Amino acid sequence: MNEAKKKTCGNSIRKWPRDDRPREKLLNRGAGALSNSELLAILLRTGVKGTSAIDLARSLLDKFGTFRNMNHTDRREWQEFKGLGPAKIAQIQAALEIGRRFREDEVLSTKHKIDSAEDVFNIFLPQMRDLKTEVFKVVYLNSNNRIIDIGNAATGTVNAAMPIVREIIHTALQRFAAAIICVHNHPSANIAPSPEDKKFTQELTAAGKLLGVKVLDHIIIGDGKYMSFAEDGMMG
């Protein structure tokens, strides 16, 4: 059914033929058969008087362009949409976060082997590229460089996260990790390491040597690019 025919059915999705309704379409044909606006309409559930959920979804996509652009946006950017209250905004943001975390779950379930800094970058870029504050993660590896676990070490301000060396090494020992890789983002997109980044890496590497945990790398992620301490010969 084309858009013109759908409009003749009225604004309410309930008036559409069942096979054209996003929820029924998903159940019958799978999520892959739905457009971005149809997927978003399912999250919204309802529209407002004179505007269906799918019309509201199209308006959101017209404004933001992509699902990625909806992440970490200021609440004021959503206020122009009538009928879009805190509950619906929370549903959308929760769904987007689930999508971002899917990649990490997929990596853990397959015990992904890390062969390069680029492998780590590809895992974490979808999660970290749009964050407004620094987040520090640690990848725990076995002796074959396969991922045992991924942990959150710290969440900081817009300028800095404050991971604690002792806690990171302690967690590595608890997980029987042979090696670790540290990863954090720079919201400014400037991936040059700060003096604090360098000092922390030195201290963590020294602590790891004392307790038999190899610190293989410290990777800084910006928007679409990364800096690797190991690749740049800065691991000491």
Over residues 3-26, mean pLDDT: 63
Cα separations in angstroms, 152 against 37, 113, 167, 219: 33, 20, 11, 14
Q: Are residues 144 and 187 in the same domain?
A: yes
d(CA 187, CA 184): 10
pTM of the predicted structure, to 2 decimals: 0.65
pLDDT at 226 exceeding the cut of 60:
yes
39: in domain? yes
Q: Are residues 68 and 119 in the same domain?
A: no
The CATH code of the domain that includes 56 is 1.10.150
Which of the pair, 149 or 18, is modelled with greater confidence?
A: 149
The CATH code of the domain that includes 146 is 3.40.140.10
Q: Are residues 146 and 81 in the same domain?
A: no
Q: Are residues 49 and 73 in the same domain?
A: yes
Residue owning tokens 């670790």: 180
pLDDT at 11 exceeding the cut of 60:
no
d(CA 19, CA 2): 13
Please give the sequence-ordered ranges of beta strands (E in DSSP) within the chain, or none if there are none.
135-141, 147-155, 179-185, 214-221, 226-228
**Domain ranges, residue 16:** 3-101
Q: Are residues 36 and 139 in the same domain?
A: no
User: Domains in the chain: how many in total?
Assistant: 2
Q: Are residues 94 and 145 in the same domain?
A: no
Q: Which of 53, 69, 101 finishes a domain? A: 101
Q: Are residues 95 and 115 in the same domain?
A: no
pLDDT at site 165: 92
235: in domain? no
